[in-house]
């Protein structure tokens, strides 16, 4: 039932995986800014590990696209420019729309029911922990993730789903980088509901269009803020 994920060190089987998780979280949350030099010695000291696990974690991050490797010059946090955000959004729209269309074409009754359930749970969870000020609700975030995964789940292409997850994480990084926590004047719940309805109606064209708008809208907000805030 309840997941005690806070004690990552205790659950992670090796030091390298623990360090990898913490480092990734620090990059995704923006604590480590884009372009930041990642010096092995300093990191090893601050994370309480040797050079070997740290190097392995960095290598993994580089493969995921969250860090860049410069031969003989170590690692740095991956750049995050508006131009790259543009390519990211475009990739997400193309890939997720294609996956959604295929899901609609192939999905069976079980998929429909799972999607319905995911949308219901997302609706029931509060988006913010505080009604007046936006405070991220981990439960809503988890439901949000599962909803979007449920949309694509029936496409029958596991590598593609894994790629979608990767892009989602990278997008999350940009969201954290911008100061835009909430998007005023937007009813995301309604957007999700509309996407779910079109999908369950097997209206591929409409569902894909709505999903594309869903991502492009968020991208526009974040991109504008990223350009203003400077990065």
Partner DNA sequence: CTTCGAGGTTTTATCGAAATTTCATGTGCG
Partner DNA sequence: CGCACATGAAATTTCGATAAAACCTCGAAG
Q: Enumerate residues 61-120 that contact a copy of itself by CB under 8 A.
A: 63-65, 71-72, 84, 86-88, 90-91, 94-95, 97-99, 102
Read off the tokens for 98. 């294609």
- Contact (CB, 8 A) for 78 and 67: yes
Strand partners, 67: 77
b/e burial code for range 106-132 (CB count within 10 A of at least 16 → b): ebeeebbebbeebbebbeeeebeeeee
Which of 187, 192, 190 is closest to 119 using CA atoms? 192
Please identify which residue in 39, 166, 186, 202 interacts with DNA, judged by CB under 7 A. 39
Of the candidate spans 2-10, 34-42, 53-61, 211-219, the one that interacts with a copy of itself by CB under 8 A turns out to be 53-61
State the binding string over 47-86 for DNA (x if CB under 7 A, else -): --xxxxx-xx------------x-xxxxx-----------
Please identify which residue in 125, 160, 194, 200 interacts with a copy of itself, judged by CB under 8 A. 160
Read off the tokens for 70. 């410069």
- Is 26 a binder of a copy of itself (CB under 8 A)? no
Residue 60 interacts with which of a copy of itself, DNA, none, CB < 5 to 8 Å by class: a copy of itself
């Amino acid at each position: 039932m309840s997941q005690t994920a806070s004690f990552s060190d205790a659950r992670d089987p090796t030091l390298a995986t623990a360090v990898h998780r913490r480092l990734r979280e620090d990059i995704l949350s923006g604590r480590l800014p884009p372009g930041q030099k990642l010096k092995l010695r300093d990191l090893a000291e601050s994370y309480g590990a040797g050079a070997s696990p740290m190097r392995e974690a960095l290598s993994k991050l580089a493969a995921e696209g969250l860090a860049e490797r410069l031969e003989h010059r170590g690692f740095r946090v991956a750049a995050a420019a508006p131009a790259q955000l543009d390519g990211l959004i475009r990739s997400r729209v193309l890939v997720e729309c294609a996956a959604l269309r295929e899901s609609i074409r192939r999905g069976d009754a079980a998929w429909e029911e799972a999607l319905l359930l995911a949308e219901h749970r997302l609706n029931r969870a509060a988006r913010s922990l505080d009604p007046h000020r936006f405070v991220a609700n981990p439960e809503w975030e988890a439901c949000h993730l599962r909803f979007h995964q449920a949309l694509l789940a029936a496409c029958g292409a596991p590598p593609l789903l894994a790629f979608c997850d990767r892009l989602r994480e990278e997008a999350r990084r940009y969201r954290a980088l911008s100061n835009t926590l909430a998007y005023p004047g937007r009813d995301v719940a309604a957007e999700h509901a509309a996407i779910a309805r079109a999908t369950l109606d097997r209206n591929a064209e409409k569902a894909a269009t709505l999903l594309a708008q869903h991502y492009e809208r968020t991208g526009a907000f974040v991109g504008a803020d990223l350009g203003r805030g400077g990065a």
